[in-house]
Structure 1
Amino acid sequence: MSEAAVEAERDAVIAALVPVVEGIAATFGPVCEVVLHDYRRPEKSVVAVAGSVTGRAVGGAMSEIGMRIVARGDEARDELNYVTRTRTGQTLKSSTMVLRDSTGAVFGAVCVNLDVTSLTEAHTVLGALAGIGRPTAELPVTTFGNDIDSVVDVMLDDHHLGQKGPWAVLDRPARLELFRSLDERGVFAVRRSVEQVAARLGISRASAYSYLAQARAASDPSPDPTGGHA
């Protein structure tokens, strides 16, 4: 199949799913948000959205979950029924289902987010009344936003919280680990992200590319040093 035919096929799949997005959100009501992503334009991947759980809009950015899927490429798999917490305190039960063309290539995703905050609170109260309440496990925090740069910034800030100090005091293994972790989380799957990370760390773009290449070389003996994500 020619590249033009594959692109036309992908366009047709996206167009066919737009009314499905509306239908799913209408079925579950105001606690549901459904987002359709086209990963061919990762910085503005949202092409349709119904509901308003995370506040995304058409033309908005993918979350860090989407960035992770893009980083995994065609090896990505559906992520179903995972529970996370937003930075505003909402508890979400979500599923992300990848879209593939007839060649098997991943090019998008449908994401369903249910705001289960009230249900979680009710469960806690009922458990306490019944004397069977248990401490709630800390949920991972997911960053949602319409600006991809803000998502990258938050992910970088989160990583630094776990570090022993600023970039200047990190030794070489710790610096490589930082770039490896950011790469695995999909930070470098979007354009200009290397430059953005370099600016935040106070290093040159060339140094950032060098650290990224070294981190990838340590994980894969024969990687593309830039991964095509410059």
Structure 2
Amino acid sequence: MTDGPAAASGADAARAEQDAIIAALSPVVDGIVATFGAFCEVVVHDFRRPERSVVALAGSVTGRGVGGSMSEIGMKLLAAGDEARDELNYLTRTRDGKLVKSSTMVLRDSDGTAFGALCVNLDVTAVHQVHALVGGLAGVAAAPEAPPTTTFGDDITAVLDSIVDARRLRRPEPWPQLTREERLELFRDLDRQGVFAVRGAVQQIAARLGISRASAYNYLAAARTG
């Protein structure tokens, strides 16, 4: 006899608990934004639906809405699974040039399963500009390290394209010039970043690389077993 019904009941209970945590957090986002003001955005992500992970949002820093997708940072947390760790006080830059200071806290149920995230984004562009101005006037300005550009949007397609393009910048050789091991490493890298957890990602990556969907599935399978 199998424990199928018991396992199903346990999964239902876990889903119900996760839903309850998200429901409890949803009104919290408005309170945080009301406290910090117009330069703040708070987002609740549900990792169980990565293509449209934004389930609650207040403020407008990244331009997303409810039903929008996670960024590259969220994709990495998704790929890490239950090993995901909070990412606190990191700087990124949006595609339209905003400098954003963020903290992303992983949401877990009572079993320790990571199923979502609470993300706080602060637009610190003006603060950075004032800091640079004051430093320049005082003669102590230093060139800070440029923060990475992050893709925020309602369409997961743009996020996946950005991940592939970033990988191409590191290795600009076109697909036909890559060795088999380099091709496998490309798929391992994309897999580590959570790309293939997204529905339809294999087809999109195949099109981006100019290969068939069957070839992409074969490389992914080989990358995961090799």
TM-score, normalization: structure 2? 0.93
2:118 corresponds to 1:145: no
CA distance in 2, matches of 1:190, 1:21: 26
2:48 counterpart residue number: 40
Counterpart amino acid of 1:91? L
2:214 corresponds to 1:201: no
Q: Give unmatched runs, 5+ long, in structure 1.
A: 219-230
1:13 counterpart residue number: 21
2:36 counterpart residue number: 28
SS for the counterpart of 1:87 is coil
CA distance in 1, matches of 2:56, 2:113: 21
CA distance in 2, matches of 1:113, 1:157: 24
2:110 corresponds to 1:70: no
CA distance in 1, matches of 2:183, 2:129: 40
- C-alpha deviation, 1:211, in angstroms: 1.5
- C-alpha deviation, 1:82, in angstroms: 0.6
Q: Of residues 160, 167, 185 in structure 1, which corresponds to 2:175?
A: 167
> Structure 1 runs of 4+ off > 2 angstroms?
213-218
Give the CA RMSD over aligned residues: 1.2
Q: Deviations over 1:195-220 (max 9, x none)?
A: 110111111222112212222234xx
Which aligned pairs between 1:117-196 and structure 2 lie closer than 5 A?
A: 117-196=125-204
SS for the counterpart of 1:110 is strand
1:58 counterpart residue number: 66
CA distance in 2, matches of 1:86, 1:103: 35
Q: Deviations over 1:117-175 (max 9, x none)?
A: 11111111111111111112121111111011111012112211222321111122221
Aligned residues: 218
CA distance in 2, matches of 1:192, 1:26: 37
Q: Deviations over 1:6-29 (max 9, x none)?
A: 111111111110111111111110
- C-alpha deviation, 1:86, in angstroms: 1.0
